[in-house]
């Protein structure tokens, strides 16, 4: 077994792990990134595409946003469509900040391309040990089949919901909060120009639909379906027919279609563990929390986590100040629960759950209020564009 040493071992080369690596490198802190998937898989993994103002600012400050600024789509509002009528929420006017449309896989490509430090793809047999000691370590097998041991001061678990980091914490330490929703999203990526300049969130008696985009030539669309939905029951013709039905409105509007490039069904859940740290292990992003996609918060919440962690590590290495590390979980969870509430609220307002006329009347009442009250619309806008990072 080969043994190497670094200051921070980062498990996972998604947005959380890669942004943390760049933050640490900027501050003179050594780190090594380990990823179980191949580089091609990580760079092609289709995920969210809405970036908060704070996320864009952070990437810009790191010098990692040149392509983002060239290719992004800046949005100053969203549409809420219900009762066949569209209502615009002017995000920038109400909250003073815009949102950016730029695919998560494009962010990952930019982060990898700019990274010149140790980054090991296709590792296997990853195990975390000594977490409560002063020298935790990660054992793994590299892509060449060589057993490796990485000794660290700190380990950052940025390896997602199914990763090894959270599972390495002893039983009984974590409190788990979880809610599973009775619906899922069928998402497609289509070679078709967007049919709207901004995102459309549609409440329909047939179910929720979302019209989003990735570029001027590629559209991202979603349909509310059952969690156990069979993709084989959704040929292209049915998908486009259902999208047109749910996005239909009284004014003149037409949905552009095209070849479907990718399709998948994603279950919806809310998940939070507390605390987000154990000994010298700190969890970030999906390793610690999952939010429903309705609020477009997953990537942005992960970036906020690692910003807090990078600041805390900077203070610790600079002068031994542990206050930020000790408060890491509490600091992050304040934002996590605000985002959880907003994502739950958006989900419950927009997704019909059955034939209960009482639930339907409550949803429509909330939608009418949000689109007629400036105060209610401002609250939605502030949460949607995201609050400044700590």
384 is catalytic: yes
Helices 357-372/374-385 angle, 10° precision:
90
User: Which position among 22, 53, 75, 289 bears the catalytic label?
Assistant: 75
Which single residue is written with the structure tokens 């477009």?
296
Compute φ and ψ for 43, nearest 5 degrees. Answer: -75, -20
Which single residue is written with the structure tokens 């494009």?
106
With beta carbons less than 8 A apart as the criterion, state whether 91 and 76 touch: yes
User: Which position among 76, 105, 203, 297 bears the catalytic label?
Assistant: 297
Q: What is the DSSP letter of 49?
A: -
Element (H, E) at 57: helix 53-61
297 is catalytic: yes
User: Which position among 15, 292, 293, 352 bears the catalytic label?
Assistant: 293
- 216: CB partners within 8 A, 6+ apart: 73, 193, 194
181 is catalytic: no
> What is the Cα 314 distance to its own chain's centre?
25
Count other Cβ atoms within 10 Å, centred on residue 124.
10
User: Is the Cα dihedral 121, 213, 64, 89 positive or negative?
Assistant: negative
* Token code pair at residue 106: 């494009």
Which single residue is written with the structure tokens 């615009």?
88
Strands 119-120 and 31-34: parallel
With beta carbons less than 8 A apart as the criterion, state whether 250 and 84 touch: yes
201 is catalytic: yes
Cα–Cα distances in Å, from 149 out to 5, 25, 39?
8, 21, 21
Cα–Cα distances in Å, from 368 out to 78, 196, 349, 350, 372?
15, 22, 11, 12, 6
Tell me whether residue 357 is exposed, middle or buried, using C-beta atoms within 10 angstroms of its C-beta: 0 to 12, 13 to 18, 19 or more.
Answer: exposed
Find, among 374, 304, 371, the residue nearest to 337 by Cα: 304
Helices 298-319/328-350 angle, 10° precision:
170
With beta carbons less than 8 A apart as the criterion, state whether 204 and 222 touch: no
CA dihedral 288, 137, 12, 140 (to 10 degrees): -130
293 is catalytic: yes
User: Which position among 140, 201, 278, 317 bears the catalytic label?
Assistant: 201
The catalytic residue positions are 75, 201, 293, 297, 384
């Amino acid at each position: 077994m080969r043994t190497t040493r670094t200051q921070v071992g980062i498990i996972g080369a998604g947005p959380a792990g890669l942004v943390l690596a760049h933050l640490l490198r900027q501050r003179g802190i050594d780190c090594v990134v380990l990823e179980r998937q191949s580089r091609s898989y990580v760079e092609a993994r289709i995920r969210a595409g809405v970036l908060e103002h704070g996320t864009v600012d952070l990437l810009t400050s790191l010098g990692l946003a040149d392509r983002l600024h060239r290719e992004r789509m800046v949005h100053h509002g969203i549409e809420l469509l219900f009762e066949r009528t569209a209502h615009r929420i002017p995000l920038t006017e109400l909250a003073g900040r815009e949102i950016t449309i730029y695919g998560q896989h494009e962010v990952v490509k930019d982060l990898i391309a700019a990274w010149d430090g140790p980054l090991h793809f296709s590792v296997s047999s990853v195990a975390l040990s000594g977490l409560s000691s002063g020298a935790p370590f990660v054992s793994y097998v590299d892509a060449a089949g060589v057993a490796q041991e990485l000794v660290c001061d700190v380990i950052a678990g940025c390896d997602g919901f199914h990763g090894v980091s959270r599972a390495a914490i002893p039983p009984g330490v974590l409190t788990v909060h979880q809610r599973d929703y009775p619906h899922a999203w069928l998402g497609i990526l289509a070679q078709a120009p967007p049919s709207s300049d901004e995102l459309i969130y549609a409440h329909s008696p047939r179910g929720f639909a979302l019209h989003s985009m990735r570029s001027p030539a590629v559209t991202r669309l979603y349909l509310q379906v059952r969690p156990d939905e069979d993709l084989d029951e959704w040929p292209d013709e049915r998908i486009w027919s259902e999208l047109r039905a749910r996005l239909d409105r009284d004014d003149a509007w037409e949905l552009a279609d095209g070849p479907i490039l990718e399709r998948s069904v994603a279950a919806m859940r809310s998940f939070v563990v507390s605390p987000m740290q154990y000994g010298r292990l700190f969890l970030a992003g999906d390793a610690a929390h999952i939010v429903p996609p309705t609020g477009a918060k997953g990537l942005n919440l992960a970036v906020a986590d690692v910003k807090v962690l990078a600041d805390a590590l900077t203070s610790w290495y600079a002068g031994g100040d542990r206050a930020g590390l000790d408060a890491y979980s509490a600091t992050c969870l304040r934002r996590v629960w605000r985002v959880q509430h907003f994502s739950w609220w958006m989900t419950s307002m927009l997704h019909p759950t059955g034939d209960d006329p009482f639930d339907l009347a409550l949803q429509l009442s909330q939608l009418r209020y949000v689109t007629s009250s400036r105060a209610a619309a401002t609250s939605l806008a502030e949460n949607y564009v995201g609050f400044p990072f700590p």
